Amino acid sequence: MKQIFIFAGIVGFIGFMYFLYQHQLGAIPFFLLSIFFFALARGQLSKHRGQDKKDHQKNKKI
């Protein structure tokens, strides 16, 4: 479900980008997309770090 919302957001953003490009404001969408992808990457990194901590704790118990 989350992937559907992300995909729909990207598709909607394309229309917004087109509008801004027509008004010579093309740098704004790239800035907003960089923030979006940074947030996605940060979420993935925090998931990965959480799994590493769990694995490390399991190895300590053994």
DSSP string, 15-60: HHHHHHHHTT-THHHHHHHHHHHHHHHHHHHHHHHHHHHHHHHHHH
Tell me how crowded residue 29 is: count the other CB atoms within 10 A of its CB.
17
28 Cβ partners below 8 Å, 6+ apart?
20
- Mean pLDDT of all residues belonging to the chain: 84
Report the predicted TM-score, pTM, of the whole model to 2 decimal places. 0.55
- What digits encode the pLDDT tens for the residues 35-55? 989 999 999 998 877 766 666
